[in-house]
Amino acid sequence: MKFLRQKILEQRKSLPIAAVEKRLVEEVRNNHTLIIVGETGSGKTTQLPQYLFKAGFCRDVKLVGVTQPRRVAAVTVAKRVAEESGVQLGQRVGYSVRFDDMTCGSTRIKYMTDGLLLREALLDPRLSRYSVIVVDEAHERTVHTDVLLGLLKNVQKARSQSANELAGRANSNNDTNLEKDNGVQMASPPKQGQVAKLPPLRLIIMSASLDARIFSEYFGGAKAVHVQGRQFPVDVFYTLHAETDYVEAAMVTIFQIHLEEAPGDILVFLTGQEEIESVEGLVRDKLPQLPEGNRNMVTVPIYASLPSEQQMKAFMPAPDGFRKVILATNIAETSVTIPGIKYVVDPGVVKARNYNPRTGIESLNIIPTSKAQALQRSGRAGREGPGKCFRLYTEREFEKLADSTVPEIKRCNLSNVILQLKALGIDDIIGFDFMEKPSRMAIVKSLEELFLLGALTEEYKLSDPIGNQMAKLPLDPIYSKALILSSQFNCLEEMLIAVSMLSVESIFFTPREKQEEARTAVKRFSSPEGDHITLINVYRSCDEFLESGNANSSKEKTFKNMKKWCKENFVNGRSLRHARDVHSQIRDHVKQMGLRIASCGEDMLLFRRCLAASFFLNAALKQPDGTYRALASSQMVQIHPTSVLFRAKPDCIIFNELVRTNQNYIRDVTRIDPMWLTELAPHFYARQD
Ligand code: CDP
Ligand code: MG
């Protein structure tokens, strides 16, 4: 154990950022807003919060909060930092992400998602528990980061005003309520009837890309400092011809590296859980075909929705003499740094949200990365020594890539953030000081959508109780609406399960070589009414199975049983476990809100009517040629082949999401009666035929 601590200490000292610890702490003392730019892996995320703690920024029970765009990053980094500080995770160092809180009253360094901090602001608008907020990975420009920066600007203003007023009062009264300590202003506990006295909020924006200018300009010329990184040369290879199937190409490349290149781990960038799991399966099947001495390779996945206890596996070294292949989404681009990587396989694609404000449709598309992303990815191979990056596309294609990625706020549905801003009392959305303004059309469309869902009044104010309730739930507005409505339809039990199952990726697991078997297994659960009820059936069957076992069986036993059940039924165990987690958390939320939790029993008609009443914006009608027309947008769409209604093709359906690959596919589909739409959503459908 001693040895391990020593080793960790040495590692920490050798990070590029360690050389500038004093200077960084000084800069934070002297600047209320500071921008820190440093190459990925230089130690920004793990070290800076520890430096700040050491320097006294957490005195007076204040926290250093660090936001991450991704939950995996928040969780894994918090674990690492707890380990480095020699404390138990959840005590001094903790994390909090949606549906998973590992903090306590004595937590001082708190890693969280940017979305979570936005939610905290609803309860504590001045973020009074924090002395410092670090907005990490700001270059990612997720919609939550952008909105958070706007909000933090306001909070900073509010808190320095209150601090100034206090300072003024303190001077004139010769009162020593405020003492200066290490540059952190400290206040004594508030007296009754007084507004809490708060030190100014320090804000640190950290980014991996070199473009600090936009952040600096947005924060009135805030100071930027650069942390020099260390980077070894990386040889970049392109394909000679365009690849038609990048998954296949990635497979071939992984095995080529394994058979021909020197030892060192491989990092492969894929687009999502499904793809990662399919490559995992393919590698597993192919390994036994290799010559005896060459089978020393293991794969580990890492992606956003991976249960946190499994995320850490990616960081563990492979067994002696084995090569580790990390199958990752773009989360491994900058958010997490995994040691030991020497080879990068980059198919050059990423799954991204896209929003068309004209039709109001948000979709998930697989699109080419930007040049900046490609460079970040290849850089991951040169952290510890010279490396190689295999780009699975041609050099000419690289030249054609866009320089950088469009901020997410410009390509997503804004209903979610607008609802939150409204709940924070920010009514003028178009006038809000966004770092980069979304188009007026996108704002108007989202306002309209929230109005149609009943969250806003005709004056576009938050409605009571619906809008208020919707803002409290940590879900997409449409899911929140479905839950609220379902308590009136007597089917909140069912809707809770449906929403939890829809919140995770791919419940069914279809190995390429066992497609027939998997299809038969799905049939056991499938409902002729559609995917929502099918998902409920899966959830409940698993519950029944677990309950039929010994009620007193240990946690490990239950875990094992569930794993076995999932395997036999071609259900994705990781996803189902995640869904069960989500379920218990949302259940607590709706209980707290006082919604009536009831079940519709056998009467699934009620449940489907409730779906129609909530998802009416996602209704589609069958066309003579068997495709569908989405009613709200008039887009032509098709039922995804994984849907249980793919063959049945009912006349009228609602769907959960639209995914664009080579086709417009709708996923998670349920049969409804078209008359329900005019009956249950007359404000939208009465004017149409
Ligand atoms: O934030 P930045 O990209 O500058 O670096 P970091 O995430 O703080 O990582 C610094 C070092 O910690 C790297 O060498 C990582 O390999 C290591 N690290 C780790 O071993 N395990 C983690 N869970 C996170 C980081
Ligand atoms: Mg970082």
So what's the ipTM on this one? 0.98
Nearest of 331, 333, 338 to residue 317 by alpha carbon? 338
| Ligand 2 center–CA 347 separation, angstroms | 23
Which of 10, 71, 80 is the pocket-test mutation for ligand 1 (most atoms within 8 Å of CB)? 80
Q: In the chain, what percentage of residues exceed pLDDT 90?
A: 74
In 303-375, which ranges are E strands? 323-328, 341-346, 349-356, 361-368
The answer to whether residue 194 scores a pLDDT higher than 70 is no
The answer to whether residue 662 scores a pLDDT higher than 90 is no
| Ligand 2 center–CA 503 separation, angstroms | 26
pLDDT confidence of residue 512: 67
What does the pLDDT look like over 363-412, one tens digit per residue? 888 999 999 999 999 999 998 999 999 999 999 999 999 998 899 999 99
The answer to whether residue 337 scores a pLDDT higher than 70 is yes
pLDDT confidence of residue 317: 93
**Local confidence band at 686 (pLDDT 50, 70, 90 cut-offs):** confident
**Local confidence band at 166 (pLDDT 50, 70, 90 cut-offs):** low
CA of 10, nearest ligand number? 1
pLDDT confidence of residue 189: 42
pLDDT confidence of residue 196: 60
315 lines ligand 1 (CB under 6 A): yes
Ligand 1, atom 16, lies closest to the CA of 339
Residues having C-beta closer than 5 Å to ion ligand 2? 44-45
**Local confidence band at 228 (pLDDT 50, 70, 90 cut-offs):** confident
376 lines ligand 1 (CB under 6 A): no
pLDDT confidence of residue 17: 95
Assigned token pair, 458: 């005709």
379 lines ligand 1 (CB under 6 A): no
How many residues comprise the chain? Answer: 689
42 lines ligand 1 (CB under 6 A): yes
**Local confidence band at 550 (pLDDT 50, 70, 90 cut-offs):** low
Q: What angle do CA 19, 109, 328 make, to 5 degrees?
A: 80
Which pTM value belongs to this model?
Answer: 0.86
**Local confidence band at 1 (pLDDT 50, 70, 90 cut-offs):** low
The answer to whether residue 191 scores a pLDDT higher than 70 is no
**Local confidence band at 506 (pLDDT 50, 70, 90 cut-offs):** confident
| Ligand 2 center–CA 387 separation, angstroms | 21
The answer to whether residue 168 scores a pLDDT higher than 80 is no
pLDDT confidence of residue 108: 98
As a whole number of angstroms, the distance between CA 137 and CA 117 comes to 15
40 lines ligand 1 (CB under 6 A): yes
44 lines ligand 1 (CB under 6 A): yes
pLDDT confidence of residue 165: 67
pLDDT confidence of residue 2: 62
50 lines ligand 1 (CB under 6 A): no
Go through the domains of the chain in sequence order and give each one's CATH number.
Answer: 2-227 (3.40.50.300), 234-406 (3.40.50.300), 473-601 (1.20.120.1080), 615-689 (no CATH)
What does the pLDDT look like over 270-297, one tens digit per residue? 999 889 988 999 999 999 999 999 999 9
DSSP helix/strand/coil, 33: strand
pLDDT confidence of residue 274: 85
What does the pLDDT look like over 553-598, one tens digit per residue? 788 888 888 999 999 999 999 899 989 989 999 999 999 999 999 9
CA of 317, nearest ligand number? 1
The answer to whether residue 179 scores a pLDDT higher than 50 is no
Report the range of poorest mean pLDDT among 159-168, 241-250, 471-480: 159-168
Q: What is the average per-residue pLDDT within 31-43?
A: 93
317 lines ligand 1 (CB under 6 A): no
Nearest of 566, 591, 392, 419 to residue 493 by alpha carbon? 591
What letters, b where the CB count within 10 A reaches 16 and e where it falls short, cover 655-680?
bbbbbeeeebbbbbbbbbeeebbeeb
pLDDT confidence of residue 56: 95
Instruction: State the pairing for strand pair 130-135/100-102.
Output: unpaired
Q: What is the average per-residue pLDDT within 445-472?
A: 95
**Local confidence band at 192 (pLDDT 50, 70, 90 cut-offs):** very low
- pLDDT mean across residues, the chain: 90
565 lines ligand 1 (CB under 6 A): no
CA of 83, nearest ligand number? 1
What does the pLDDT look like over 318-336, one tens digit per residue? 999 999 999 999 989 987 8
What does the pLDDT look like over 195-211, one tens digit per residue? 567 889 999 999 987 67
pLDDT confidence of residue 183: 36
**What region, left, alpha or beta, does residue 141 occupy, with left being phi > 0 and alpha being psi -120 to 50 degrees?**
left
The answer to whether residue 416 scores a pLDDT higher than 50 is yes
Q: Which residue has the higher pLDDT, 614 or 193?
A: 614
pLDDT confidence of residue 335: 79
- Listed in sequence order, the residues at least 6 apart from 534 whose beta carbon sits closer than 8 Å to its beta carbon are 522, 525, 526, 527, 644
The answer to whether residue 171 scores a pLDDT higher than 80 is no
